[in-house]
């Protein structure tokens, strides 16, 4: 479980493609405190640490993960938003994020807005109904509040701190990002759907 508050902007250091995609990610985390088998959200995808050394850790992505996320597009040097898993007692500064990516959103517009930047994304049609104004989404692991929704498009505002500390700083229209919808919205939609089916 995560909060969507990014604590390091790492970079892909090495990768090897095979039955699994092996990734080594450079990080400023103190890797001596990262246990093998622990979970780290890598641009929103929860991945298991299989090795670590000073200033880097390694993870693996399965074929299923590559289909459902942007990880298959990553190359050496790709910036990766990093968050270690939530511990009991930690501050919940964003919203509850599972690290299970639901789909891929595409950035369609980036424009200055006062002292922030407005990003407009296009969500997959099957996920758009879960996104609501003032609700939460996670994009590449970043917890964000939705400003407006129009069909499959939705907008978020990114403040200077987030631009400086995540991959949003370099993001340009056409870029794809991992999208996780709010888990509360998911369960409400499921319950409402079941109730509708039970009505005469």
What is the CB neighbour count within 10 angstroms for residue 196?
8
Q: Are 200 and 94 in contact (CB under 8 A)?
A: no
CA 46 – CA 84 distance, rounded (Å): 9
Look at residue 99 in the predicted model and tell me its pLDDT: 94
pLDDT in tens, 22-41: 999 999 999 999 999 999 99
CA distance 121 to 35: 36
Over the Cα atoms of the chain, what is R_g? 17
User: What mean pLDDT do residues 156-172 have?
Assistant: 97
User: Domains in the chain, ordered, with CATH?
Assistant: 8-84 (2.40.30.20), 103-193 (2.40.30.20)
Q: CA separation (Å) from 162 to 16, 105, 123, 126, 170?
A: 30, 18, 21, 28, 11
Answer for the pair 131, 149: CB distance below 8 angstroms, yes or no: yes
CA distance 173 to 127: 20
**Whole-angstrom Cα distance, residue 24 to residue 156?**
31
Residue 110's CB is within 10 A of a number of other CB atoms, namely 15
Under the banding of pLDDT at 50, 70 and 90, the label for residue 42 is very high
């Amino acid at each position: 479980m995560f909060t969507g508050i990014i604590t390091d902007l790492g970079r892909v250091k090495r990768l090897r493609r095979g039955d699994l995609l092996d990734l080594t990610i450079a990080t400023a985390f103190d890797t001596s405190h990262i246990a093998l088998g622990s979970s780290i959200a890598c641009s929103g995808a929860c991945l298991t640490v299989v090795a670590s050394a000073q200033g880097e850790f390694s993870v693996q992505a399965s074929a299923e993960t590559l289909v459902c996320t942007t990880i298959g597009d990553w190359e050496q040097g790709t910036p990766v938003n990093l968050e270690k898993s939530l511990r009991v007692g930690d501050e919940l500064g964003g919203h509850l994020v599972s690290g299970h990516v639901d789909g891929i959103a595409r950035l369609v517009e980036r424009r200055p807005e006062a002292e922030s930047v407005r990003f407009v994304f296009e969500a997959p049609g099957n996920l758009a109904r879960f996104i609501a104004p003032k609700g939460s989404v996670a994009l590449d692991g970043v917890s964000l509040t939705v400003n407006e929704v129009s069909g499959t498009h939705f907008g978020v505002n990114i403040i200077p701190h987030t631009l400086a500390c995540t991959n949003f700083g370099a993001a340009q229209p056409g870029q794809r990002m991992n999208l996780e919808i709010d888990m509360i919205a998911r369960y409400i939609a499921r319950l409402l759907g079941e109730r509708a089916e039970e009505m005469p």
